[in-house]
Structures are given as structure tokens and as C-alpha cells.
Structure 1
Amino acid sequence: MPNFLPINTILVPQGAEYKAVCRGLSGVTGSIPTVVAIPVGMKPLLKYLQKSSGNAQFLAPKSRVLIMGVCGSLSDRYKVGDIVLYQDCVYQGKRQECDRTFTTKLHSYISDKVSLVKSLTSDRVIWSAAEKRHLGKTLAADVVDMEGFTALEFFNAAKVSVAMLRVVSDNCQHDIPDLTPAINSDGSLNPFPLAMTMLRQPLAATRLIRGSLTALKVLEQVTNLLFSGNRLE
């Protein structure tokens, strides 16, 4: 990462996304940010951030937090493996903006690899392709995740600069399994309900796994690009 854009902390959902970012940073020489695994979902994330609010690393003056991970597409324009940089997040009619200066500098650094998008944050998994397309049209949103609005609301209130960089893991042409029942109240994944959900919908599960593997590989590569300057494959 160029000296003009220091990043103090990367927040990334726990599990495969966290591991992909860590792989991207492995072998990078020089200073790298602290990578923090966060829970999945709005309520678990808010609880985690409030509990961690005494951490000076999160809330230090002039600190920059980059939130990374995967997201779902709500538009035909964005396909699996596309890298997106958020402008803002909406939730139930409310809107939170990412830091414009931080986002603009990130965009200028990887502009040929990334699209600026508007995001919807949901408190449940949006698994139906029909619902994705409907939400995309009615809310003028491009992608969906389960943490963005909560993170922006928390850090914006604390006057901390936040940017959000994600990779599309599922499109809006096909259904994916409804993983909501497999997400525990603490934001972790419960392996047994997850396995049962995937077994009940084998075609959708195969599509989700394939898309996730593609997105995680790109997430690893873009992390490495940001902090080492290596090119994406």
C-alpha cells in the first residue's frame, strides 16, 4: 500500500473470508495492518464493536479501517468474482456513507479492477434470485451484505474513516441456499444446520460453493495487490 494511504485495521467476517485476507497478506514485507475477524450479521457485529470500543486501535484519531469480505449481487451488472468498492450502505430507509477521501484514494489505486457500488445491508441471508433483483431495482442498490451498515454507523459516529472493499460471491440469476438458520446468535456458523441446508438444495449449494471459492481467491489476490503492489492474475 502506498505511503499516502495507511490502513490501521482490516475487519473481515470470521471463517473463510478472514483466512483469505490473511493468505493475501502472508509474505508481504513491510508494515501491514492488523486483521480482525468479526462476527457475521448486524446484531452480533454491533455487540462485538461496542464491546471492543475501548480498543484504541479501532477508534484512534485519524485511523483508517478497511472492511473486506464477500457480498451478493443485486444487479446483472455484477458477476461472481467482481471486486466492488462501496460508496454507501442502506438499511430500512437509512443510509450511511463510506469515507469519501479514503474511498477515492483506494479507487484511484485499483481503479481498473474495481467498481464503485451502492450497497444494501440485510439482517438475514437474501437467498432468492427474484428477491435480489426486486431489492436491487426498488432500492437502487448493487450488492448486499450483512454487516456494512452497522459498521459504518458505528465508525461514522466515532469519526473513524472507513472504506469497504468486497468481492461478489453469488449473482442475482440463481438462488442460493438460505443459510440464515445456520447463523448462530453470536455471528458464528453452526456446522450441522449448515450441512443440512446444503444437502436439501444440492444444485444451489454447489453453485454457492463454486462462487464462494472464486470470490475468496479474488479476495486473497486483491488483498495482496493492496499491500504488495503485485498484479491480479
Structure 2
Amino acid sequence: MPNFLSINTILVPQGAEYKAVCRGLRGGNGSMPTVVAIPVGMKPLLKYLQQAQVLAPKSRVLIMGICGSLSDRYPVGDIVLYQDCVYQGKRQECDRTFTTQLHSYIPQKVSLVKSLTSDRVIWSAAEKRHLGETLAADVVDMEGFTALEFFNAIGVTVAMVRVVSDNCQHDIPNLTSAINSDGSLNPFPLAMGMLRQPLAATRLIRGSLTALKTLEQVTNLLFSGNQLG
């Protein structure tokens, strides 16, 4: 069952998320997709996509990674499949046929959601709940809308699978300053942000580890046919 969807490319934020997806593809056979590490954040991603070798129209791209929950319905570790992404009142849709096919291969384990894309880290639980309620969004990330807007414009088929790494009941550390202008993470501000809020940092680390393990498992399920643990 490897690469049953004829996916050409997987895009996943660089760092731990990229490594988790690569681990999930190990042991697969047949035609495996190319995995590309993308920068974190809207502006760095757009610059990267504009400068990168453009995928041919009718390519099939799967975007993977982790996200934050804006609703009590989606706790840490939940697998979510995007229907669309909103940003500042604009909306971009994922490909419906591709999304339906993915949904059929992760039965009873995945939720269809509406996503908000943010140009900064949404770290406050109160703000998460407010955004979820006012925008009718379920989860938040920092790349989805940009990727969809870019690929939809050139006729590339896109679907998006992510795993929830932080809930909307607790704050996470404010790590906005740890993201460089090129979308990479700066270790020193990252460490300082964690140290300033140790309880929130512990929660974020624990949630991220859970989400990354599930991200690895769902990648393995999609491309090797193994069941989720």
C-alpha cells in the first residue's frame, strides 16, 4: 500500500517535525515521496516557495506537521485533516478529493477541521479560545494558508495532515522571538523563553513529544500500511 495516493512531495516544517516524518517513511517500499523541510512562518515560507523549483501542475503535495488546538474538542495527540485555512478574513481550501482519500485511510483516527494560520506564535490559552470562538476555527498553525494560496494558484493539488501538540486550556511559552526571519529557530531565545515559563515549557515539551510520535506513526500508516499504535 505504499504511496497509494501517488503523492509526489511531502512538505513539513524543518527540525523535529521533519525528522519525525522521515522516521515514519523508513521501512516503506515502492515509490516514496520526496520529503522537503520548509521554514517556519508565513513570510519565510512564501519566500522559500517563490525561490524553490516550482512543482509541476497536477502534482500532489501533502503538508504535514504539528499544530495548536483552538477548541476543547481537539486534545494533544489528535490527528487532524484540514478542510481549509483562514487568514485575515481570506480562505483557501484543501483539495476535497485528495482530502477524502486521506480520510478513508485513517479511519476513526482523524478529525476534519478548519484551520487558522497565524503570522506569530499564539501562546495564550485565552487568546486561543477567543480565536477559536470568533473565527470558527479548530486549530492554528503558521504555514497552512500561505502554502495553500501559493499551490492553489499554480494548480498543485494539496492536502494537509497535522497532529495537535498543545491544547487551549494552558498557555505555552511565548517563543515568537525564537523564530528567525528566515524561518529557522534560534536556540538561545528558545531556551530563554522556556526557562522564563518552566511549567508551560514542560507542558509544551510533553505535548510536542506526544504529537511527534503520532506524526511519525501516521506517516508510517499512510505509506507502509501499518496501523496506528
Is the TM-score greater than 0.5?
yes
2: CA distance, partners of 1:2 / 1:213: 26
One-letter code of the match for 1:36? V
State the 1:61 CA deviation: 2.9
One-letter code of the match for 1:11? L
Residue 135, structure 1, aligned to residue 159, structure 2: no
Match of 1:109 among 63, 83, 105: 105
> Which runs of no fewer than 5 residues in structure 2 stay unpaired?
none
Aligned position for 2:26:
26
Instruction: Give the % identical residues.
Output: 89
1: CA distance, partners of 2:88 / 2:138: 16
2: CA distance, partners of 1:27 / 1:106: 20
Aligned position for 2:83:
87
2: CA distance, partners of 1:120 / 1:152: 12
Structure 2 SS opposite 1:59: coil
- Per-residue CA distance 1:128-156 (angstroms, 9 max, x = gap): 00000000000000000000000000000
Aligned position for 2:41:
41
Aligned position for 1:181:
177
Match of 1:164 among 150, 154, 160: 160
Q: Are 2:42 and 2:119, in contact at CA under 8 Å, matched by a contact in 1? A: yes
One-letter code of the match for 2:215? L
1: CA distance, partners of 2:3 / 2:192: 47
Q: State how many pairs are aligned.
A: 229
Aligned position for 2:150:
154
State the 1:4 CA deviation: 5.3
2: CA distance, partners of 1:42 / 1:183: 11
Q: How does 1:50-61 map to 2 (within 5 A)?
A: 50-52=50-52, 55=53, 58-61=54-57
2: CA distance, partners of 1:130 / 1:94: 23
2: CA distance, partners of 1:30 / 1:104: 23
Q: Which runs of 4+ in 1 moved over 2 A?
A: 1-4
